[in-house]
Amino acid sequence: MRRTVVSIPSVTQSVHRRQFLAAIAAPVAALALLAACGGGAATTASASSGGASSSAAGQASTAAAATSAGSQSSAAAPATSSAAAAAGAKGVTVNYWDAFSGTNGKAIQELAKQFNSSQSDVTVNYQFQGSYEEVAQKIAAALAAHQAPDAAILSDVWWTKYYLDDAILALDPFLKQERVDPTGYVESFYSEGVKNGKNYWLPFARSTPLFYYNADVFTQAGVPPLKTWDDLVSVGPKLMGTAANGAQRYAFANANGNSYIAWVFQPLNWAFGGEYSDADFKMHFTDEATIAAGQYFSDLVNKQKLANNPTDVVAAFNNGLTATALMSTASLAGIEQTSKFKVGTSFLPTEKQFGCCTGGAGMTLFKSSPAATQQAAFKWMAFATGEASTIYWSQNTGYMPVQKSALTSPKMTDFYTKHPNFKTAVDQLPKTRPQDLARVAIPNGDQIIGDALGQLVIKNQPVSSVFSTLQSNLTTKAEPIIRELAARAKSG
């Protein structure tokens, strides 16, 4: 029997957190919310089909909190009619929710089309649902309304929440049945999706921060690529100037947006010898090294006046409004396509030591879809993360290949020769490490850390005071997560 999908229109307004939590309290209210705030943002590559699901209502509240502060997407395409799309379906239809727009959105939709044309057993129904935060919010509402997708993209800071709620499946049986070798994946990417010896989060759109610089500005200033964060302060005045549009050009652009700023500050903090938290969830925001990193971050804007906080760092860089920035590898293809100057990339600067984290997103399967649909959905996931697909995805976006064989394939080595900026992340990868648990395991941890960092660089608040409050806040929020992880480990 064909299941019915609630059509989810594009999110263009924030959902008030209290409204969202109230809606989750009752299934009928949740259905109403799903129709009002969900994502027909849905760009469909094929037929539309739904998936019944059930989950603890608690996960909806964790998703809602971050979305209330998160960015809203206006790039969503209108939903394709389920009835019209169904006519072209073949085999089992899989409802897949995604978060990529622009250059990256075109690339993932092309992969969906390639998958659908490559076989006749499965039709993937690709639906764009907005940003990572919006996808997570809509999944929470969909789970409460028993209308979850069969598979979805989840970012590094969201998938653990659905693991704790027992809403997503361990992927090991599917890997075995589809004869997908787990050791073929880049080990660091694959291992980050493992809990208690099982994988729940298959690497797909994986990234690291890169240090981007306007090579033309550096040449004109007679400045070599930076090696340390102290170098930025030393040569920063030479990188300041006037952009082509007459506006001020800064030496560095601090990240803006709660989640993103917490991601790019992570490696800077490590470089200074600090950390957000350790493996036991002990917070280290009041450590001397972390406070020193925070002070450096604040001083770039408020003391040295070498940096600003643009709303869109990528746009600021492309428009010549900043000479350098820490940005994701995922932005590389778009930047190279649109910039009017020579773009350079390098390893992240060091200080006391080198620091660079991984990031991005992976694919997950939801528990309550029928077994046949789960297996069909994994076929799509295996295709999307396979060697040929990860090569296509990497070359067209800047995300890193997730298959070891792809990294050394002739297609990629030739590509790296022609596009050396793309190879920077690959060369840097062995030096990276997973993010601290304070950001990726505590609900809304990235938003909470981002709010605190915003107080430093935007409001110029005292670092020690802000980080002391942050330490206390996250220590309290970590306590139930420690218990939940322990309980989840016992239950398997």
64/47 same-domain check: yes
pLDDT in tens, 396-429: 999 999 999 999 999 999 999 999 999 999 999 9
430 part of a folded domain: no
Residue 158 is classified by DSSP as T
How distant, in Å, are the alpha carbons of 2, 125, 137, 250, 433 from that of 80?
A: 17, 10, 21, 44, 41
Q: Which domain-ending residue is among 392, 418, 444?
A: 418
Identify whether residues 141 and 175 lie together within a single domain: yes
Q: Residue 290: what are its φ and ψ, rounded to 5°?
A: -65, -40
Q: 88: pLDDT confidence band, cut at 50, 70 and 90?
A: low
**In a domain? residue 217:** yes
Residues 157 and 198 both lie in one domain: yes
Tally of CA atoms within 13 A in the half-sphere of 298 that contains its CB: 20
CA quadruple 311, 315, 319, 323: dihedral sign: positive
Q: Are 264 and 349 members of one domain?
A: yes
21 located within any domain: yes
Distance CA 377, CA 76 (A): 23
% of the chain exceeding 70 in pLDDT: 81
Domain assignment of residue 428, yes or no? no
In the structure, what pLDDT confidence band is assigned to residue 389 with cuts at 50, 70 and 90? very high
Residue 12 has pLDDT above 70, yes or no: no
Q: What is the rounded average pLDDT of the residues 442-459?
A: 94
Tokens 């693991």 — which residue? 163
CATH number of the structural domain spanning residue 444: 3.40.190.10
Residue 117 has pLDDT above 80, yes or no: yes
440/292 same-domain check = yes
233 and 296 within one domain: yes
Does 188 lie in the same domain as 74? yes
Between the two ends of the chain, the Cα-to-Cα distance in Å is 32
Tens digits of residue pLDDT in 300-324: 999 999 999 999 999 999 999 999 9
Q: Are residues 475 and 370 in the same domain?
A: no
Across the chain, mean pLDDT equals: 85
In this structure, is residue 174 part of a structural domain? Answer: yes
Q: Looking at the domain assignment, is residue 492 inside a domain?
A: no
| Separation in Å, CA 199 to CA 203, 318, 473 | 10, 38, 30
Phi-psi region of 203 (alpha: psi -120 to 50; beta: other; left: phi over 0): beta
Number of domains present in the structure of the chain: 2
**What is the pLDDT confidence band of residue 36, given thresholds at 50, 70 and 90?**
very low
Q: Are residues 60 and 189 in the same domain?
A: yes
Give the pLDDT confidence score for residue 259 in this predicted structure: 63
Q: Please say whether the dihedral angle defined by the alpha carbons of residues 48, 54, 57 and 59, taken in this order, is positive or negative.
A: negative
Q: Is residue 112 part of a domain?
A: yes
Cross-strand bridge partners of residue 209: 328
Place of tokens 């218990």: 483
Residue 259 structural domain: 209-356+436-486
pLDDT at 14: 35
Q: Which of 418, 446, 462 is the last residue of a domain?
A: 418
Residue 452's pLDDT band (cuts 50, 70, 90): very high
Whether 403 is covered by a domain: the verdict is yes
- Least confident among 98-102, 186-190, 254-258: 254-258
Q: Are residues 229 and 352 in the same domain?
A: yes
Q: Cα(7)–Cα(80) distance, rounded to whole angstroms?
A: 9
Q: Which amino acid is at 434?
A: P
27/158 same-domain check = yes
What is d(CA 196, CA 324) in angstroms, rounded to the nearest whole number?
A: 40
Residues 154 and 273 in one domain: no
Report the distance separating Cα 467 and Cα 455, nearest Å.
10
